[in-house]
Every structure is written in C-alpha cells, then in structure tokens.
Amino acid sequence: MKGIARRLKQNDNINTDYVISGRYKFSIEDPKELAKHIFEDIDPTFATKVKEGDFIVSGENFGCGSSREQAPQSVKAAGIKAVIAKSFARIFYRNAFNIGLCLIECDTDSIADGDVLQIDLNNNRIKNITQNSFIPIKPISPVMKRLLADGGVIEHFKKHGGFSLGI
C-alpha cells in the first residue's frame, strides 16, 4: 500500500469529535458527505488536501472519545487507506477494522507531512520513500488482515456466509 502522509497539526489525543465534529455526525448520514468535514476543527482545509490513497499520520491515543462509527467511516469515505499512529483508542481500533479501515501502530516521529510511504504488512514495516528509511510496525493479526482484505466484518460475512478464518 503506497500513499502520501497527511500529518495532523495536533499530534496526540485526537478524539472522535476532532475526526468528525458532533455538529455533523447527527445531521449527516452519508459517509461521503461526512468526509468533507474530517478534522475541520483542527485544520479547516484538511478535507480538501486529502486525496484517495493518502495516509493520516498522528501520535498517541488516536480515536479516543465516543464509540460512534461515524469517525472511522468518514475517514474511510475520504479515501484514506490507513491511519498511522503511535497508539489507538481500543474502541476506535475495533470500529476501524470492522469497516475495513487499516490502522498501523508505530513510532511516527520521523514521518513528515507529504512523505511518500509504502506500507508492507507482510514484513511489518513502512518504507519512507522520501527519506529512504524503514520504520518497524506492530504486526496486524491474521484475523484483522483477513477483515481488511474482505472490506470489514459485514463484507466478510457476505463473502463467507459467516465468520471464516481460512487462514
């Protein structure tokens, strides 16, 4: 998976209300419409800078706050292929994989906004093409990789007629 790093101006404790403000998540149901407002309270122009296939880069405790699925849904609907952070709130982590949004845990200090990154889930590393360096990542379990490949839990169930590891 290759893409451009989009580093958030605020690094740590990105709560779900920063991902998508409460003023939108109760009035807009379409994830594509919600995606037009991601991270608006941190950077009003963020949604206009994001392109299909980009990666969000952040620090500790990404996705803390509420358990509403609109946060990972709006990120995925914006075309983000993965969120790369030092750590994630557990409920956000689970919600993201449930909908097929890849989350990568690693040290993000060396990743700059605009860096070109190549995520290698098989070798558990990110190649920073811009800086010609490698960053080790926390391995993703085979079950989570399967959910990502199938597009999330619902798509997995549709594809396999139930929960099937097949690993």
> Does residue 104 sit within a domain?
yes
Per-residue pLDDT tens digits for 102-157:
999 999 999 999 999 999 999 999 999 999 999 999 999 998 999 999 999 988 88
Cβ-based neighbours of 70, under 8 Å, separated by 6 or more: 16, 20, 25, 31, 34
Q: Is residue 167 part of a domain?
A: no
Q: Both tokens of residue 68? A: 């509403």
CATH code, domain carrying 8 = 3.20.19.10
Match 């490698």 to its residue by tokens. Answer: 134
What is the structure's pLDDT at 65? 86
Bridge partners of 134, per DSSP, are: 127
| Rounded Cα gap, residues 116 and 155, in angstroms | 30
Q: pLDDT band for position 67 (50/70/90)?
A: confident
Number of domains in the chain: 1
pLDDT band at 73 (very low <50, low <70, confident <90, very high): very high
Report the predicted TM-score, pTM, of the whole model to 2 decimal places: 0.93
Region 81-102: mean pLDDT is 95
Answer whether residue 165 is part of any domain.
Answer: no
Give the residue numbers spanning the domain of 31.
Answer: 2-160
Token pair in block for residue 20: 């998508």
CB-side neighbour CA atoms (13 Å) of 150: 24
What's the rounded Cα separation, in Å, for the pair 5 and 19? Answer: 16
pLDDT of 26 reads 79
Per-residue model confidence (pLDDT) at position 166: 65
Q: What are the respective helix, strand and coil percentages of the chain, to the nearest 5?
A: 30, 20, 50
Separation between Cα atoms, residue 63 and residue 142, nearest integer Å: 23
- Alpha-carbon distance of 42 to 75, in angstroms, equals 15
The verdict on residue 51 lying in a domain is yes
